[in-house]
Structure 1
């Protein structure tokens, strides 16, 4: 009986780990597709600000790969979400994507160490995808 218990537990733990690792990869591909569709024309496919539409833009699109490096090594999650969603005052060249990113589901986003804020799932997902583009 004890062997069956341990075997069953090992199977459940393996299934749990597989489900944890598969979902983030699916989400990453989904947000990579959104990035390509909505952001790459200006920011480039790698997020460096060198997309085909960037040549005639003033100011040039931001190099999204350097956000953490330009912020003391900390990814500026709140500023990124604000920029994407259009919560910024003053003139801006970047279109607002708030209407596209809003859906019925909210997720909790760590906006500072130990502080969590609800945000639309797509907005949080796009910001998290941009986090994956960071270079030292």
Structure 2
């Protein structure tokens, strides 16, 4: 009889614990591989497998800092991947980052001194791209 009571209690405890465990979130590198590498290339040089099929060659993401006087353009990068630039940047084709936008919001300073609520996965992706700089 006691063993029969222990099993439901153990199951209830397991369910309660599993509700507390957060689902693993992809890293910035994993999101880059999923959303960016097909055009920008695995190393971010703009040489992905789909790059030749595009009207405009994808940017070489490894030289963003170099092309911006030695400073990584965090605000412009975030605006681009979040979609704020619309078609004002020459009509560049970018994928839908929907799942990344659905991640929890975290404070992010894009270089303007303002901590803005930003989807965590976009922050991780931007930080990953910043790490690709030559």
Where on the TM-score scale, by shorter chain, does this alignment land: which range? 0.7 to 0.9
Higher relative contact order (CA 8 A, sep 6+): 2
Structure exhibiting the larger radius of gyration computed from Cα positions? 2
Q: TM-score, normalised by structure 1?
A: 0.71
**For residues 15-74 of structure 1, what are the alpha-carbon distances to aligned partners after superposition, in whole Å with 9 as ceiling and x for unaligned?**
xxxxxxxxxxxx8x8221111111111000000000111112121000000111111111
In structure 1, the partner of 2:38 is: 41
- CA RMSD of the aligned region, Å? 1.8
Aligned residues: 107
Q: TM-score, normalised by structure 2?
A: 0.72
- Name the structure where helix makes up a greater proportion of residues: 1
Stretches of structure 1 that go unaligned for 5 or more consecutive residues are 1-26
**For residues 4-23 of structure 1, what are the alpha-carbon distances to aligned partners after superposition, in whole Å with 9 as ceiling and x for unaligned?**
xxxxxxxxxxxxxxxxxxxx
Alpha-carbon separation, structure 1, partners of 2:84 and 2:30: 23
In structure 2, the partner of 1:86 is: 83
Stretches of structure 2 that go unaligned for 5 or more consecutive residues are 1-24
